């Protein structure tokens, strides 16, 4: 686990200020989507080894939701971006 996270709003902060939600890759399906799509979104996670994209919230800082891209093996953090700017619309 990284010791420091560079929040795009607050700067480099200790990881204790953040809370992790989990995998940031699944996108919420439309309410009309299939059972399988929803089952996938709510219940299924791949638990990969290596590079992962996760939702982290800077709870003791700006309270923004961030997408942290990191390697869960080497603990290297590649990027930290605001989740709102990540949403593909």
Residue 57 is a binding residue for another protein (CB under 8 A): yes
CB of 70 to another protein, least distance (A): 10
φ/ψ of residue 26, rounded to 5? -65, 135
The two three-digit tokens of residue 16, written as one number: 């204790």
Give the integer Cα–Cα distance in Å for 53 and 34.
25
Instruction: HSE, CB side, 13 Å, CA atoms: give it for residue 10.
Output: 19
Binder among 38, 40, 61, 72 for another protein (CB under 8 A): 38
List contacts with another protein (CB under 8 A): 1-4, 12, 14, 19, 21, 28-31, 33, 35, 38, 41-43, 55, 57, 59, 63-65, 75, 77, 82-84, 87, 89
């Amino acid at each position: 686990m990284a010791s420091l996270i560079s929040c795009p709003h607050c700067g480099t902060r200790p990881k204790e200020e953040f809370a992790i939600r989990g995998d940031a890759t699944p996108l919420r399906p439309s309410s009309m989507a299939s059972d399988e799509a929803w089952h996938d979104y709510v219940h299924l996670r791949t638990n990969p080894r290596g590079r992962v994209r996760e939702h982290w919230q800077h709870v003791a800082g700006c309270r923004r939701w961030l997408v942290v891209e990191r390697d869960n093996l080497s603990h290297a953090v590649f990027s930290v971006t605001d989740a709102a700017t990540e949403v593909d619309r």
